[in-house]
Structure 1
Amino acid sequence: MAAVLLAGLGAGLWRAATFDLPAVAPLAAPGASGPAAQAARPAGGSPPGRCGQADLRADRELRGMWLTTVENIDFPSRPGLSEAQVKKEYLGWLDLAQQQHHNAIFVHVRPSGDAFWPSAYAPWSQWLTGRQDGAGPGWDPMAFMVRTAHERNLEFHAWFNPYRGTQPGPNGPGADFAKLAPDHPLRRHRDWAIAYPDGKRARLYFDPGNPQARRYVEDSMLEAVRKYDVDGVHFDDFFYPYPEGGGNTFHDEASFARRADTSMSLAQWRRDNVNTLVREMSERIKQIKPWVKFGISPFGIWRNKSTDPDGSDTRGLQSYDAIYADTRLWVRKGWLDYVVPQLYWAIGFGKADYAKVLPWWSDLVRGTGVQLWIGQADYRVGERGDWSDPAELDRQLTLNERYAVSGSVHFSAKQVRADRLDAVTRYRDHHYAAPALVPVMRRLPARPPGPPRIAAAHTGPDGELVLDWQPGTGPEPVSWALYRVSGAAAALVATGRAGATVADPHPVDGPATYCLAGLDRSGNEGAASAAFRAEGT
């Protein structure tokens, strides 16, 4: 809540002067109405992109990490933890994201045909509860995770594996229908299920070629979009399963014979099935919530140039042919808002050179409106060869800056926290030293707020400079960006949610000039406030 700065309250406070603004009436709380609130919202502010005479300067890039739940790789640390333990661990990951100046987190909420929320379509995740049954943990993890991420101004991208129905191993049912939860959809609809590969490693998949199964999978994911305030829907690279070799076959012959057009090959039919899922999800998400982003993180090779002249200069597995993922089509059709190719190779690697694959993806997105974010291989740091060099990821992020790259997502959270060889510290200091705003997606709805008003300043309990403010006219801001003037530029020093305290966490000694701008949920920034000068006492 805004407060009036009273004079004479001690040396810990700041004197403040607002430039270019008339006298104002007593302050009202953000969101208040009535005469006082209206009087406290002048239309004046800095020109667009300016703080007084200084240019606003802020990095615009998506910075995030994948928080993996399958097999408890990152979170929760083990199945069956108490509500308090799960919440504590999750908040620890949010702490890490803030320390790294990230602005998004990608949470695995449907790893294997299950759910991290009370779902009418899927059983509770075994990685949360320890067993796949209907008992549940007695609380709603998804609601907590979305709310607390937003409190820290982190975008929450709900990460789904569409087709995977079960997971093998000691904690998973594998391909054993008897071990599925009684209400598991694949237990009730066995004709939807295909087991792959053979033996102990078998898991069940929803048949991508069965329209009923596909619709059910879509509905189960869209349930989360309807129920929760997610910022994005996110898939990784698991569509048709990766080939296992050894004579293993994905047995969808009956489905193909029943449903495929007679002119189509099996490979064409499979690609068409995946394309249909991607297109329908894109359309249905926007019908429900037009502001929710849809993105996919595919394997980093579409096709090799030796196979297709339009392919990349690589010699690796081709996702178009091996898992029937026509990534290039999805981008060209505009079905995605962003694409995050997993470029998990070193610069100079023979079969897939990061420095050669990156330009291919940059060329692909050019002119499409689809943003290019890169999946970064933090998990490889410390491996022999190129990955024993702690500067490898740092060099990759530097290379990203030369191309049309709008951000990076790091795999995975545990490796970001481990900071092997101090590689994370190195790239954070060189590339993430200051906060960043999410890149604007022009295809999403835009309602930028009017210029807010900074009214007063005081020192917070930890030495931060706290600024009291009022929103301007027009749409209410979803988040804010705080700028501090240094020379001819006003640099971004902090961001936050609209309901959070506005503060410069590391104020300079002596006088400083600030501007505050509001943003809508798509990252569109309104005009900044009038320049506000805070003077130390």
Structure 2
Amino acid sequence: MMSSLCESESSNVTCCFSLNQTEKQEFRAIWIATVFNIDWPSSSMISVTQQQTELLNILNMMERLNMNAVIFQVRPAGDALYASTLEPWSIYLTGDHGVPPSPLWDPLAFIVDEAHKRNIEVHAWINPYRARLSSATYELASNHMAKRFATYAYSYANQIWMDPGSSEIQDFIGEVVEDIINRYAVDGIHMDDYFYPYSDGTEFPDHATYARFQEQGGTLNLNDWRRSNVNSLVYSLNRRIHTIRPKVKFGISPFGIWKNGFPPSITGLSSYDSLFCDSRLWLQEGLVDYLTPQLYWQIDPPAQSYSALLKWWIQQTSRGRHVYPGNAVYRLTGTTNWSVTEIVRQIHLTRSMSDRLALGNIFFSAKQIMQNIQGIQGQLAILYQEKAITPIMSWL
């Protein structure tokens, strides 16, 4: 708990307070999304020097605000924003799928080096099964996973998606992760909510894989089998990561609602039923070191309440794994146009539950903070006026 709180967090968002010793361990992070150049680089057509300068500007801003971790998207769609030995260079970096940057450089090596100089952790963010996004029309490079494993590459919702039920695909993703943690001094591996795709109203075309499962004696129904496939990948990556580098953290940021009615006031898309992600199990079984449910809703509305969902999630962490909720700073702009007061209240609320393992926040995404929308940098400077280390994970 905070040793000194302002009397009304909603009416005076610039109040000062002191952090106690527990809160000096706090995860203060941002996502840097590279897909579609959301956060970085601003364009695949700018020079290498400009790309490096943009990354340094983000890290310098984080250092000024006493933030301590960055979730850096290095594999948006079976491609690489690093010198991969397994996959093609990303079009979002070079403008041409499979073509290396010129002059040659390695963004992951660069950000790890520069972030560590500033005492900022780097968590490499990968998307396991997405192979090409909607509206993307570029030709896939010959070493792309959808070409190498064409049997398991499906057109779905104007995207290309790999089959999570394929053991070959699961093994390949494991090889990608092993390659990263063997060659880069990353502090964590991170995945977000994309396992099975969000539905376009049609059935995902994995029936041949499911039929083979049944022919081999499998008895799970289709939905349970899909959830088992996702769990299998999570089990495997947890084991691989901690066998190779035991102190590397493994985190996932699932959709913020596990199931309708959990907790009772909550309604909305069910990650369990629609995305086949049993994300509660990952906490209960200790399969992740931290979970970041994407709580991209306001505190007060009951149907999707930030506070109700956060309380529910931390009640699920029976093995002591950390919960770092995801906060929607992107909603400070556009049609939703939240007030920055909402984000400040959410950080205060998270801190009020720090004794129950809600130990920090991750903000989506870097762009709104870099643009200082609604003066958010000033608010974070007040909230983070004292430095903090990332929370200690005694099991690592």
TM-score (norm 1): 0.67
Contact 1:332 1:368 in 2 (8 A): yes
CA distance in 2, matches of 1:423, 1:151: 25
Say yes or no: does 1:324 pair with 2:276: yes
Contact 1:195 1:250 in 2 (8 A): no
Of the three residues 74, 84, 87, the one matched with 2:39 is 74
Letter in 2 for 1:257: A
Unpaired segments ≥5 residues, structure 2: 1-19
1:249 is displaced (CA, Å) by: 2.6
Deviations 1:17-74 (A, max 9, x none): xxxxxxxxxxxxxxxxxxxxxxxxxxxxxxxxxxxxxx97871101010001000000
Of the three residues 265, 288, 302, the one matched with 1:350 is 302
Letter in 2 for 1:323: L
Of the three residues 178, 189, 193, the one matched with 2:153 is 193
Partner of 1:257: 211
Say yes or no: does 1:412 pair with 2:378: no
CA distance in 1, matches of 2:193, 2:239: 20
Q: How does 1:299-310 map to 2 (within 5 A)?
A: 299-305=255-261
Partner of 1:211: 167
Contact 1:209 1:255 in 2 (8 A): yes
CA distance in 2, matches of 1:401, 1:229: 30
Q: How does 1:278-317 map to 2 (within 5 A)?
A: 278-305=234-261, 311=263, 313-317=265-269
Of the three residues 116, 126, 141, the one matched with 1:150 is 116
Q: Compute the RMSD of aligned alpha carbons.
A: 1.8
CA distance in 1, matches of 2:127, 2:143: 19
Greater fraction strand: 1
Deviations 1:116-137 (A, max 9, x none): 1121211001100111124444
Letter in 1 for 2:135: G
Q: How does 1:124-163 map to 2 (within 5 A)?
A: 124-137=89-102, 138-163=104-129
Contact 1:338 1:370 in 2 (8 A): yes
Letter in 1 for 2:370: R
Match of 1:437, SS state, is coil
Residues 356 and 148 of structure 1, relative CA distance in 2, 3 Å threshold = same
Of the three residues 129, 133, 158, the one matched with 1:167 is 133
Partner of 2:339: 389
Match of 2:219, SS state, is coil
Say yes or no: does 1:227 pair with 2:178: no
Partner of 1:401: 351
Deviations 1:375-432 (A, max 9, x none): 01101114567x5433111111111122131110000000112232224422431x21
Match of 2:29, SS state, is strand
Contact 1:302 1:311 in 2 (8 A): no
Contact 2:332 2:338 in 1 (8 A): yes
Match of 1:106, SS state, is strand
Contact 1:192 1:206 in 2 (8 A): yes
CA distance in 2, matches of 1:301, 1:58: 26
1:369 is displaced (CA, Å) by: 1.9
1:262 is displaced (CA, Å) by: 4.2
Partner of 2:194: 238
Partner of 1:14: none
Partner of 1:509: none
CA distance in 2, matches of 1:364, 1:82: 46
Of the three residues 361, 372, 384, the one matched with 2:323 is 372
Residues 433 and 121 of structure 1, relative CA distance in 2, 3 Å threshold = same
The structure that has the greater radius of gyration is: 1
Deviations 1:62-91 (A, max 9, x none): 101000100000000111332211111110
Say yes or no: does 1:361 pair with 2:286: no
1:100 is displaced (CA, Å) by: 1.7
CA distance in 2, matches of 1:312, 1:225: 40
Unpaired segments ≥5 residues, structure 1: 1-54, 174-178, 445-537
Contact 2:31 2:364 in 1 (8 A): yes
Deviations 1:468-500 (A, max 9, x none): xxxxxxxxxxxxxxxxxxxxxxxxxxxxxxxxx
Partner of 2:386: 434
Contact 2:293 2:325 in 1 (8 A): yes
Greater fraction helix: 2
Contact 1:231 1:293 in 2 (8 A): yes
Contact 1:236 1:296 in 2 (8 A): yes
Residues 424 and 352 of structure 1, relative CA distance in 2, 3 Å threshold = farther
